């Protein structure tokens, strides 16, 4: 009786802890996504999020008829495409997230229909209800992470690990702010998978039902995000003591009953996706990403991926350094799974750094690592457990202080997040971000703007190109349709702590088709009505431009003291007089 009471009390504690966490996270998600009862910014369904979501209204409301969708719905959310010529809904993402959301969506749509709350799948009510599923999967993911970690560590270590995993990494952001992205759903599936693996490998009978649950979890994880295929390796590697154990697991997996079970479940889980691919392309197998791909397999972008101000993993998630430190410590102490953790980390870095857009758009930190927190928390748990055993109180206190600072840093950035418009190593842009978030203050004696076009271009006259470049892998191709091409624009009062006195602008150009560009580099200081009060020009041809080569163009000048008023704006642009086509790279503007 006493034992049953203890189990009951433990289960009650879990329910209380995770129910409270769900309520708190849901409240925070509402605060982060809505203001005055209205969605912040472009809304919960904006951009990539709408691509994951559109499967649901298409299936349950509009019957895959583009003409029944709200007009211009695709241009409002800027994700999926309503192709009125073919009558198809074009979507590059797989439907795994939509499958997980289906019960929530059906309940939401039923309520909206009964109470006439604009049951169109996109109204404010749907956006409000859309906060529930990601928070649910976030908390459930933490629950199964706890169940997984308790095989290795005592409860105080496990709960400490979960607390700082949530508060100190971008799991918080992708669970509460960008919850409709794939990452928090992958995190839940990864955590569930790890928990089921522990049960399966600890079961002498190797239950076929348990293996079927593992297969369904893996299939769903791959359907949510195809690169999640790498987690299949954990089946063979997790807790494996030697090569003989790995070989044994390979034999188990390829037994007829297990292999057939796995293949059948994967097929059934993927069946909706196969049907959609047949509908949109005419083939059951279809690469939906078009020209996007893993362009850098042989030369992955690793250093910027991890350390760049442009969404670098460790720069925005310093807590993950402790995860990797714990895995390395495990290897040094010859503990099981240390190599598995570092192998997983290295593999994810290689895959992510190979993607054509290694910075992943408006990513907060390097988002492909979010879901892998489920297994990397094993290294973090080991780090915490070993730190707790240290006799030196100062060292233990210092580690705790670092984790608190890392968490504070993460949360401040989350609450002041904005799209990063700087370049790969644009440290001044990063310092501005820290200052905007009230994390650190920097003196602004000078400011350097850098643009190497690795980032997304928001200038319509510039097309991103990887055909010909001056540095790294990307350049800008100036579109001949436009006469003016913006390079830099900013209010004079928002740059330095003191009135700006000197401007240096430099860039590299390479003509296409002809040695001459007939382009003029212009620096203009304008008032609120766009009237230029002062300007300087530099014909690009003076640099001796030649097709097939890169030439540097520089413009340097002093700013008259009477132009330091706050209403003036500094604009630097290229005047494409004769609408020529040319490459542009490595823009650098220094203001002193």
Q: Summarize pLDDT for 482-540 with one digit per residue, the tens.
A: 999 999 998 887 788 888 889 999 999 999 988 988 899 999 999 888 888 999 999 99
CB 376 within 8 A of CB 345: yes
d(CA 490, CA 555): 17
Q: In this model, does residue 244 exceed pLDDT 80?
A: yes
Of 381 and 12, the structure prediction assigns the larger pLDDT to 381
The pair of three-digit structure tokens given for residue 199, joined into one six-digit string: 């049960």
User: What pLDDT does 564 receive?
Assistant: 60
Residue 7 has pLDDT above 70, yes or no: no
Residue 397 has pLDDT above 70, yes or no: yes
**pLDDT number for residue 565:** 60
Query: Are 259 and 215 in contact, with CB atoms under 8 Å apart?
Result: no
Could you give the count of Cα atoms lying within 13 Å of 310 in the half-sphere of its Cβ? 24
The structural architecture, per CATH, of the domain 443-591 is Sandwich (2.60)
pLDDT at 376 over 80: yes
∠ at Cα 134 (130, 138), nearest 5°? 160
Is it the case that residue 8 has pLDDT exceeding 90? no
Tell me what the pLDDT averaged over the chain comes to: 93
Are 315 and 372 in contact by the 8 Å Cβ rule? The answer is no
| Residue with the two structure tokens 């209403």 | 567
Res 47: pLDDT: 86
Residue 455 binned pLDDT confidence (cut-offs 50, 70, 90) = confident
**Rounded Cα distance, 545 and 495, in Å:** 32
Non-local (6+) Cβ contacts of 405 within 8 A are: none
Tens digits of residue pLDDT in 193-225: 999 999 999 988 889 999 999 999 999 999 999
pLDDT in tens, 319-329: 999 999 999 99
**8 A C-beta contact, residue 101 and residue 53:** yes
Three-class secondary structure of residue 116 per DSSP: coil
pLDDT digits (tens, 9 = 90+) for 540-591: 998 889 999 999 999 999 988 877 666 788 999 999 999 999 999 999 999 9
Query: For residue range 340-353, what is the model confidence (pLDDT) as tens digits?
Result: 999 999 999 999 99
User: How far is 571 from 302, CA to CA, in rounded Å?
Assistant: 34
Decide: helix, strand or coil at residue 37.
coil
pLDDT, residue 557, reads 94
Domain ranges in the chain with CATH number 2.60.120.260: 443-591
* For range 141-162, the mean pLDDT: 97
C-beta of residue 381 within 8 angstroms of C-beta of residue 327: no
> Which has the closest alpha carbon to 371: 351, 401, 399?
351
The tokens describing 446, both together, are 């000078």
Determine the Cα angle at 386 with ends 383 and 390, to 5°.
Answer: 130
- Quick one: CA dihedral 386, 392, 395, 400, positive or negative? positive
What was the pLDDT predicted at 529? 84
**CB-CB contact of 500 with 451 (8 Å):** no
Q: What is the pLDDT of residues 35-51, one digit of tens each?
A: 888 888 777 898 899 99
Higher-scoring residue by pLDDT: 41, 406: 406
Enumerate residues 6+ apart whose C-beta is below 8 A from 94.
223, 224, 225, 226, 273, 288
pLDDT per position as a tens digit, 285-304: 999 998 899 999 989 999 99
Flag the least confident range among 11-20, 179-188, 376-385: 11-20
Judged against a pLDDT cut of 60, whether residue 1 lies above it is answered with no
Q: pLDDT tens, 510-525? A: 999 889 888 999 999 9
Q: With contact defined as beta carbons under 8 Å apart, do 357 and 366 qualify?
A: no
Cβ contacts of 457 within 8 Å, gap of 6 or more: 463, 464, 476
Asked if 503 and 523 touch (Cβ cutoff 8 Å), the reply is yes
Determine the average pLDDT of the residues in 84-96: 94
CA angle (203, 205, 207) in 5-degree steps? 80
Q: Give the integer Cα–Cα distance in Å for 57 and 460.
A: 32
Q: Give residues with Cβ within 8 angstroms of 137, minimum separation 6.
A: 100, 175, 184, 185, 187, 188
Checking if the pLDDT of 2 tops 50, the result is no
């Amino acid at each position: 009786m006493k034992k049953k009471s203890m189990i009951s009390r433990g289960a009650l504690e879990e329910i209380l802890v995770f129910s409270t966490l769900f309520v708190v996270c849901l409240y925070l998600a509402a605060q982060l996504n809505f203001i005055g009862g209205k969605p912040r910014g472009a809304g919960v369904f904006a951009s990539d999020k709408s691509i994951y979501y559109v499967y649901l209204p298409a299936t349950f409301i509009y019957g895959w008829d583009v003409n029944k969708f709200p007009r211009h719905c695709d241009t409002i959310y800027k994700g999926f495409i309503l192709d009125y010529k073919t009558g198809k809904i074009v979507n590059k993402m797989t439907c795994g997230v939509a499958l997980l959301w289906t019960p929530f969506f059906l309940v939401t749509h039923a309520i909206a229909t009964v109470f006439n709350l604009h049951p169109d799948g996109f109204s404010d009510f749907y956006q409000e209800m859309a906060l529930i599923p990601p928070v649910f999967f976030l908390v459930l993911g933490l629950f199964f992470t706890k169940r997984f970690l308790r095989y290795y560590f005592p409860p105080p270590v496990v709960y400490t690990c979960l607390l700082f995993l949530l508060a100190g990494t971008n799991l918080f952001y992708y669970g509460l702010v960008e919850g409709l992205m794939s990452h928090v759903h992958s995190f839940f599936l990864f955590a569930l998978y790890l928990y089921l693996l522990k049960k399966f490998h600890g079961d002498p009978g190797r239950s076929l039902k348990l293996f079927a649950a593992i297969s369904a979890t893996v299939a769903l994880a791959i359907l949510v995000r195809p690169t999640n295929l790498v987690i299949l390796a954990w089946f063979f590697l997790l807790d494996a003591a030697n090569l003989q154990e790995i070989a044994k697991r390979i034999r188990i997996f390829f037994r007829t009953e297990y292999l057939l079970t796995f293949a059948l479940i994967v097929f059934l889980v993927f069946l909706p996706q196969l049907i959609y691919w047949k509908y949109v392309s005419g083939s059951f197998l279809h690469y939906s990403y078009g020209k996007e791909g893993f362009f850098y397999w042989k030369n992955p972008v690793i250093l910027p991926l991890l350390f760049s101000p442009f969404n670098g993993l460790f720069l925005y998630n310093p807590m993950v350094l402790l995860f990797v430190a714990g895995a390395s410590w495990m290897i040094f102490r010859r503990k099981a799974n240390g190599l598995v953790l570092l192998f997983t980390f290295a593999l994810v870095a290689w895959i992510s750094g190979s993607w054509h857009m290694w910075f992943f758009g408006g990513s907060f930190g390097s988002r492909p690592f979010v879901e892998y927190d489920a297994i990397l928390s094993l290294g973090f748990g080991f780090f915490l457990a070993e730190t707790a055993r240290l006799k030196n109180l100062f060292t233990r206190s210092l580690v705790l202080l670092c984790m608190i600072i890392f968490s504070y840093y993460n949360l401040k950035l989350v609450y002041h997040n904005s799209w990063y418009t700087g370049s790969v190593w644009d440290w001044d842009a990063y310092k501005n971000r820290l200052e905007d978030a009230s994390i650190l203050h920097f003196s602004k004696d000078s400011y350097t703007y850098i643009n190497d076009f690795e980032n997304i271009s928001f200038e319509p006259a510039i097309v991103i190109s990887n055909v010909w470049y001056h540095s790294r892998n990307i350049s800008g191709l100036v579109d001949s349709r436009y006469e003016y091409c913006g390079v830099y624009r900013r209010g004079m009062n928002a740059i330095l702590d003191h009135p700006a006195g000197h401007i240096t602008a430099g860039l590299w150009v390479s003509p296409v088709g002809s040695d001459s560009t007939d382009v003029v580099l212009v620096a203009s200081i304008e008032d609120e009505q766009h009237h230029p009060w002062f300007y300087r020009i530099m014909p690009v041809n003076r640099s001796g431009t030649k097709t097939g080569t890169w030439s540097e163009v520089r413009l340097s000048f002093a700013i008259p003291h009477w132009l330091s008023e706050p209403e003036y704006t500094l604009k630097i642009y290229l005047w494409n007089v004769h609408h020529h086509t040319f490459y542009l790279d490595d823009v650098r503007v220094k203001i002193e």
